[in-house]
Structure formats: structure tokens, C-alpha cells
Amino acid sequence: MNKYWIILFIISLCACSKAPVQTLQQYSTSFIYPDYEKVTIPCQIAPLSFFVNTPETDVKVILHAGDYSLSIKGKDISIPSGKWKKLLTSEDTIWVDVLAKKNGNWTQLRSFPIYISKDEIDPYITYRLIAPGYEVWNFMGIYQRCLSSYEETPICENKSMAHYCVNCHTTNQGNPEEFIFHQRPGGSILAKEGVLKKLNTHYNEKVQSLVYPSWHPSGNYIAFSVNKTVQSVHSSHTNRIEVWDQWSDIVIVDIRTNELITILTLMSEDSFETFPAFSPDGKKLYFCSARAVTLPDSITEIKYDICSIGLDLENKMYSRKVDTIIRASAENYSTSFPRISPDGRYLLYTKHNYGNFSIWHKEADLKMYDLEKKIPVDVSILNSPETESYHSWSSNGKWIIFSSRRDDGLYTRLYLAHVDSQGKVGKPFLLPQKYSTYSIDQDRSYNIPEFVTGKIKNYKVEIEKLMKEKTKPR
């Protein structure tokens, strides 16, 4: 073995060797990773595994709630499910004491609470896992995760058709029996009342592929954006990728008849409309809209407002008036992903400098607006110096989930946060994993997280069959 191969062999050994403390310092300056200090968690959540990020070597952690306590020795803290449930049901607060042995005695390094909320959380979430790539992808899928355990099961994967992109999945207000996702190329696959089908979306030359869906609460309609999307990579910029729409409109499909419903105010040639979101009562459609500009030359000048229109789909009545809810363009910023709380009170959205694809904008932050009082709500506790985006509400409006790049600036990971009856948002916490360093070791990004009120049926065989079917022109 010559010197060149010896050097490569040594480098490979170093690369495979784990040094948790050094690695963790790249992700977090907090005392533990993930940072679960003073977070509010639901009473059904899976155990919070974490790593004690301290130079002391002889460490133990004592967790106690009420009369029950649990001691775990070492820095890598994984709590057995049965003992975790005892902690959750003992009191409304879990106290965590971290001790280190110094000069033969145990000395307390830190003590902090984890608050337990009685507000239930939906039992499942869905999300897409994808490599944080740029212009190409390989293996990706849409998955569901049980929040009371670490169980993750696939809804759809592109293993057998690796060149296919699966995206834009959503359920009807968390209903596991009504969901849709988009495959590119191919079309949209719809599940309703146990029946799977592929929508024929080739309506005309312009409307051929439907993106960014939002279910009407009746389950009879889905609003979609129709986009001509372009992606490029910056050679030198804080934001690695730029994605924009050369044009975009919003249409609605009656999924009972496959009829396309078009509304003039949602298809203006003078503006770009995208990201539709029905109100919980179905009487309004929220969306993002920007004045049309020449792209990509004027990419930094495009600023999306959040608007709404009134509608009565069953009687085919649509308002001609467009209400502007967030006039972002007047204040020289842009918005994306409007999401309305289940009680119709709060609008959660993403704020960023320009454009509409905030997932790659480092400056993107979550914002909230009180639709009743017509005032902004302080949710700064949710944000970081990195990207926050792709957010959704639980079915009872007490929890939100969103993606963030705060850990390393590259991979998006999922964070949850509690919302109380006054709209006050708690400190977000990383989606619990079985092992404390799982999030560091992950090789794919989470995106488009949504809550689901039950487990989605295994349609794997049917989905793969539909994905391979070619859609015939109408």
C-alpha cells in the first residue's frame, strides 16, 4: 500500500469516526441537543432523546415529575417509552437535572423544566423526505410518522421510478381518507373514501399540470395553482437556489365530475396568483398575488401580497372583489404559504425579501396575523437566522409544525410549537427521534409537513400502478 492510499485510508477512518460533542457544536450552542429546555410538549408525544453538550465526562441526568423520578447515566439520553409515559402522566412539568461528578461528588450543572400541555395533538404527521439537492433528485418519498412513537411508514416512494418527483401532498383538514399528491411527470393522484384515482388534468394548453393544492372543507373541490416554474442556482449568493414562476394562476377542480372551475379574478394576466388556501368554513379562498414583472430580470422586485375572495362553490357564486389581507408589497417584502387556523382566527404565513419560493431564502421567517383584531401577532420565538417555512396547523389549532434550517443551514428539519387560546406561541422543539444524534446523521430534508387525524391506509401497490399509467389527453 503506497503513501497515497494510506493517507486516503486514514482520512476515511476519521470521516467514519463519530465525535458527538465536536459535531454537536456545529449544530447548537445550547446545553443539550436538541434544545428541549423550557419547551411545551403534548401529553402524547414520543420520548425526547437528547445529548448533553458539555465537556464533563462523568454525567447523569435525573428526570422527575410529581413523585416519579428516573435516573440515566451518560450524556446520550434515550428514555424508555414506558417510563416516559409515567413522566408525562405524573404532573404538568418534567424537571430535568443534569449532574457531573467532580472530585468524587455529584454536582448539578443545570436544571430546567419541560412543560406538558393537556392540549392534544393529532396522532400523525405527513411530510416529504428529499435530498437537499439543486437541479436533480434521485430517491424521495412521502411518509407518515406516528407522533406518540418513532414509527415512520411510506405513503409513496419513487424507488421503482427514480426520475419521478413526488410532491405537493395534502389532506382535507387532516382527514386520512381524503388526500392528494402530485407526481412530476404524470399528474395528481387522489384518494377519497377508500378509492384511488389519477386526475386527468390536461384541460387545455395552459392548464395541464396542477400544483399547490388546497381542499375545500366539503371534500368536493380542490383549489390548485397552475405554474410555469423555473429553477436556477446562484454562483455567489446567500440563497443557494432561486425558484420563480414565469406565470401562475389559480383554478378549482370539482373532483366529483373533474370539472375545471375558472374565476377571472384568479387568472389575471397582470398578476401572478399562487398558494391557494381555503378558509375552514369554505367561504373564502386565500392566496398570494404579485404584480406581473419580467423574469428573471426583475426577480428581486416581485413582492407577493396575501389576498382573499369570497365564494359559494355549490351555487357557483364568486366575489368580484379581492381583499388584500397582508399588503407586503407596500412595505417592500414578499409572502408565501398562507395557512388559516381551524377556528378561522389566525393567518400563519412566511415573510421574505422577494419572490414566492421561501424555502431557499435564508431570511425567511414565520409571521402571524389576527384576522379578527386585524393586528400582527408576535411569533418571533419561532424564528432563527436560517430559513423557516412550510408550516401547518393541527386540527384543533393548538399546535403548529414547520420546517427550519436552523441546525446547519442546509437540511430542513421539523419543529413543533404550542399555541395557547390567546394566540401566544411557545418555544419550538425538534421532532423527537429515537436517537439523540439522529438529526445530525440524517441525509435527507423534511418538507411540507402536515398533521393527520389518523393513519393513512397503505395504498402502496395501487399508487405504484397509478404512477406508471400515462394520462391521456382530454
SS3 annotation, 329-368 = HHHCCEEEEEEECCCCCEEEEEEECCCCCHHHCCCCEEEE
Q: Which amino acid is at 398?
A: K
Mean pLDDT value across residues 230-257: 77
In this prediction, residue 122 carries a pLDDT of 98
Q: Which amino acid is at 448?
A: I
In this prediction, residue 232 carries a pLDDT of 65
The helix/strand/coil state of 204 is coil
Q: How many CB atoms lie within 10 A of CB 310?
A: 15
Q: How confident is the model at residue 137 (pLDDT cuts 50, 70, 90)?
A: low
Task: Give the DSSP H or E segment for 467.
Answer: helix 460-468
In this prediction, residue 369 carries a pLDDT of 98
In this prediction, residue 9 carries a pLDDT of 31
Summarised one tens digit per residue, pLDDT across range 114-132 is 999 999 999 999 999 988 7
Cβ atoms of residues 405 and 378 within 8 Å? no
At the second CATH level, the architecture of 20-117 is: Sandwich (2.60)
Burial of 395 (0-12, 13-18, 19+ CB in 10 A): middle
Residue 307 in this model has a pLDDT that exceeds 60: yes
Task: Give the DSSP H or E segment for 16.
Answer: helix 3-16
Residues of the chain with CATH 2.120.10.30: 124-468
Summarised one tens digit per residue, pLDDT across range 60-113 is 999 999 999 999 999 999 999 999 999 999 889 999 999 999 888 999 999 999
Picking from 236, 196, 200, 229, the residue whose alpha carbon sits closest to that of residue 212 is 229
Residue 13 in this model has a pLDDT that exceeds 50: no
% of the chain exceeding 90 in pLDDT: 64
Higher-confidence position of 182 and 171:
171
Residue 147 in this model has a pLDDT that exceeds 90: yes
In this prediction, residue 209 carries a pLDDT of 74
In this prediction, residue 204 carries a pLDDT of 77
Mean pLDDT value across residues 366-375: 98
Higher-confidence position of 239 and 252:
252
Residues of the chain with CATH 2.60.40: 20-117
Higher-confidence position of 294 and 285:
285
First-residue to last-residue Cα distance in the chain? 65
Mean pLDDT value across residues 434-450: 85
Superfamily of structural domain 124-468: TolB, C-terminal domain (2.120.10.30)
Summarised one tens digit per residue, pLDDT across range 193-229 is 888 888 877 777 677 778 899 999 999 999 999 887 7
In this prediction, residue 441 carries a pLDDT of 77
Cβ atoms of residues 32 and 79 within 8 Å? no
Q: How many CB atoms lie within 10 A of CB 86?
A: 15
Higher-confidence position of 325 and 462:
325
- Secondary-structure percent of the chain, ordered helix, strand, coil, rounded to 5: 15, 45, 40
In this prediction, residue 263 carries a pLDDT of 93
In this prediction, residue 21 carries a pLDDT of 41
Residue 301 in this model has a pLDDT that exceeds 60: yes
Q: Calculate the average pLDDT of the chain.
A: 87
**Lookup: cell for 274:** 399562487
Picking from 342, 443, 351, 360, the residue whose alpha carbon sits closest to that of residue 400 is 342
Q: What CA–CA distance (Å, rounded) separates 49 from 300?
A: 42
Residue 406 in this model has a pLDDT that exceeds 70: yes
In this prediction, residue 10 carries a pLDDT of 30
Q: How far is CA 157 from CA 154, 163, 335, 336, in A?
A: 7, 11, 31, 27
Q: How confident is the model at residue 17 (pLDDT cuts 50, 70, 90)?
A: very low
Residue 3 in this model has a pLDDT that exceeds 60: no
**Among 42-56, 101-115, 166-180, 239-253, where is mean pLDDT lowest?**
239-253
Q: How confident is the model at residue 239 (pLDDT cuts 50, 70, 90)?
A: low
Q: How confident is the model at residue 471 (pLDDT cuts 50, 70, 90)?
A: low
% of the chain exceeding 70 in pLDDT: 88
Query: Locate cell 420565538: which residue?
Result: 381
How large is the C-alpha radius of gyration of the chain?
24
Cβ atoms of residues 398 and 43 within 8 Å? no
In this prediction, residue 474 carries a pLDDT of 58
